[in-house]
Amino acid sequence: MRGPRVHFVNRYFAPDHSATSQVLSGIAFSLARGGYDVHVCTSRQLYENPGASLAPRDEIEGVAVSRVASSRFGRSSVPGRACDYITFYLSVLLRLLVEVRRGDIIVAKTDPPLLSIVLWPVAFLKGAQLVNWMQDIFPEVAAHSKIGGGLGRLIFRALVPVRNWSIRLAQRSVAIGEGMRARLRDLGVADDRIRVISNWADGQVIKASDQGAVARRVEWGWDGKMVVAYSGNFGRVHDAETILEAMERISRRRNADGLPDILFAFIGGGAQRAYLKAECARRGLTNVEFRPYEPQERLSVLLSSADVHLVTLRPEYEGLVVPSKVYGILAAARPVLFVGARDGEVARLVDRFGCGVAVAAGDGGRLADAILGLAADRGLRETLGGAARRAFDASYTLQIATLKWHSLLSELTVLSGAASVPAFGSGGDRVAGLTTPLPPVREAARALEAPSEKIGG
């Protein structure tokens, strides 16, 4: 007998390669393999191709996929994006009113935002349970980003009370970090209705030492250089100024005796990519290159090809967003250079496991010192990278995330009494034990706590 029916709702799902799709797809496939009856309601589009028209019905790795129709204006304009959201809301509402049964569990992600407002009435009318899987908190993210101008602020202000109502009434809300848990509590969500389940990376795909990395470094002209990479979307929530200041400081010292050849590589896209490129040109920075997104199947090679990786989040977005790219970096056993709030989610992770350096937003000098220190000490890079992989294995694998989802869904299933719980995850106790924190490598990280006299800053 299969377990309870679980309906995940998100605008993108496999074969799409966007971040929300990858996280959802991995969990959905893993739960289906464990005995859950998993359904996904999604759009017919691809993130990078809104004109795509995927099949209305599909089954992928045991997951029943239902793709609803919506407009296809894409992300190029705010009105077009709003139209895509509204038509998706209506299609999902109609589809789930037909497909959801009493005792089912509906899991609403946050693409498009505010799905909880649309799906709570469905759960209420059909006798189902609602879980909000918060990848971000909207409309606060949009308000900080000043999307929509004055009219946008008025609309966001009107939406907040309705949004709060819908998440308070949900049976559970899943936060992807402790900072987000605190934000949800501040919105009036009862603490016993919040669960923290971090996002994850696939440690079977992303290797600590990928054989293709050496060839890729030669192909891209990275051989013999210390490469500081930023991969993925560089959007409005990310701190460009601190990174630019560090790049400028390092560029001024490029000819100093004994200074390694340091290259900054930005691979991907995002709202601030054009600004970064223009600023590098304006400041005369030549120790930088920009490359397009790499195909998903080459992610392991890409992450392994760089020596260290940048992760950034502007402090005002702490608790609203968690930069999930950090988990792939950990899996690739590379040091993390985080720029943002010193007491933020990623900064605490870096400090806890001793797997890199966390720098306060605005402190470009400190970031430059950290990069120069890592460039001068390969052994330190390897030590921090080893700590990164151990951190990943301890807390951020797909297996650990799936077990946490199984625990949450089992809890709801027992409460409803609607279906049996799958005998899930043989050897689960052993896997769950990996969540025990490992001792951080503080001795290695301490070498970067203060700038050395040699490299200055």
pLDDT in tens, 336-363: 999 999 999 999 999 999 999 999 999 9
Asked if residue 422 has a cis previous peptide bond (ω within 30° of 0), the answer is no
> Domains in the chain and their CATH numbers?
5-197 (3.40.50.2000), 212-393+438-446 (3.40.50.2000)
pLDDT in tens, 8-67: 999 999 999 888 999 999 999 999 999 999 999 999 999 888 888 999 999 999 999 999
Mean pLDDT within 93-118: 95
Across the strands, what pairs with 194? 173
Q: Give yes or no for a contact between 291 and 306, defined as CB atoms under 8 angstroms apart.
A: no
Identify the pLDDT of residue 30. Answer: 96
Percent of the chain beyond pLDDT 70? 88
Q: How far apart are CA 237 and CA 316, in angstroms?
A: 9
pLDDT in tens, 186-217: 999 999 999 999 999 999 999 887 788 999 99
Q: 3-state DSSP call for residue 208?
A: coil
Q: How far apart are CA 456 and CA 187, in angstroms?
A: 45
Q: Is 284 left (phi over 0), alpha (psi -120 to 50) or beta?
A: left
Which of the pair, 4 or 107, is modelled with greater confidence? 107
Q: What is the 3-state secondary structure (H, E, C) of 420-442?
A: CCCCCCCCHHHHHHHHCCCCCCH
DSSP state of 418: S
